[in-house]
Amino acid sequence: MRRILAATAVVLLISTAACTDKDDEAAGAGATTKVTVGVIPIIDVAPIYLGKHKGFFARRGIDLKLSPEQGGAPIVEGVLGGKYQFGFSNVTSLLAAQSGGAPLKAVAAGVSSNGRPGRDFSAIVVGDNSPIRSARELGGKSIAVNTLKNLGDTTVRQSVRRAGGKADNLRFTAMPFPDMPGALQSGKVDAAWVVEPTLSAVLTQGGRVLASNFVDTAPDLTVALYFTSQGTVTAKSKLVADFTEAIRESLRYAAAHPGEVRDIVGTYTQINDTVRIAMILPTWPEDINRNSIARVAALGERDGIFKKAPAIEQLLP
């Protein structure tokens, strides 16, 4: 990962230095710009799908394509390598990349915890027949997360600590969110960290919530951000401004239209009507909770995820 970050950073700096104001001139002349954004097919990104459907991007000259990935880390690599112009990623992936020297810049808030213990859109869950009754009992157990050494690890550990358990011997297993309900049912893993719509899929199968890991980590946690490369910020300032405006409009729209959020999620994930109706929604504030990101950074340092302390203000808008 470090070699990839270093190499792609050099390529980006060289290539973007060669760009001129032609990109901004073309955008200003009413040209349509093709933009690909790396996303994770979970409820978090419902606003950008709604924004595309409602024409918020098209009205700003952006021909938007959304490309699904399993987690934030491959999206970061995709943006650094030029595969994506923008990406959606959890804050831990972004902080880790920034700490490693990657020239990234957040442009807008992505999604936040709703702050309700037991009713957040993210949770640590177990299957219906599990004997585990508390996050305190997870020591030594296998826990599914979508990617390793990332936001799932950090927040799950925090829930275990808050419950009075030992968080240094958890066994994490990486798998896509949609595979987790089956893994719990078959006993392949003892517990799983899930977000919607996978959370409701587990609950409708009789699963149970052990803890709300985002709520345990920080009040109103900013979970993820939309971001780009620093080179894109420099070379394509108008595109970045237009994209940011469209995202902010999309966030406002999603917050005001929960019914449409439920409908749009069914267009990019495979869920039934029971799950769609039962989903617990996050919040989509336009403002970034900087204190919560500092908390995630501190926990990540404690868990050894970052090789040095991230420069948070260099990453944030």
Q: Where are the domains of the chain?
A: 2-113+220-315, 122-217
- Cα 46 from chain centre: 12
Q: Do domains 2-113+220-315 and 122-217 have the same CATH topology?
A: yes
Indicate the pTM of the whole model.
Answer: 0.87
Q: What is the mean pLDDT of the chain?
A: 91
| pLDDT tier for residue 8 given thresholds of 50, 70 and 90 | very low
Asked if pLDDT for residue 66 goes beyond 90, the answer is: yes
Fold classification of 2-113+220-315 is D-Maltodextrin-Binding Protein; domain 2 (3.40.190)
User: What CATH number was assigned to the domain covering residues 122-217?
Assistant: 3.40.190.10
Q: Give the residue carrying structure tokens 């780009």.
A: 228
pLDDT at 235: 96
More confident of the two residues 16 and 260? 260
SS3 150: coil
pLDDT at 164: 97
CA-to-CA separations, 53 to 134, 140, 260, in angstroms, rounded:
41, 45, 11
What average pLDDT does this structure show over 166-193? Answer: 96
Share of the chain above pLDDT 90, in %: 86
More confident of the two residues 142 and 29? 142
pLDDT one-digit tens code per residue, 282-297: 999 999 999 999 999 9
| Burial profile 132-141: b = 16 or more Cβ within 10 angstroms, e = fewer | beebbbbeeb
Q: Distance between CA 214 and CA 2 in Å, rounded?
A: 27
Question: Strand runs (DSSP E) across 155-298, as ranges?
Answer: 171-174, 191-195, 208-211, 222-229
Amino acid, single-letter form, for residue 121: F
pLDDT at 11: 42
Amino acid, single-letter form, for residue 42: I
Q: Distance between CA 196 and CA 203 in Å, rounded?
A: 11
Asked if pLDDT for residue 23 goes beyond 90, the answer is: no
pLDDT at 2: 44
pLDDT at 308: 86
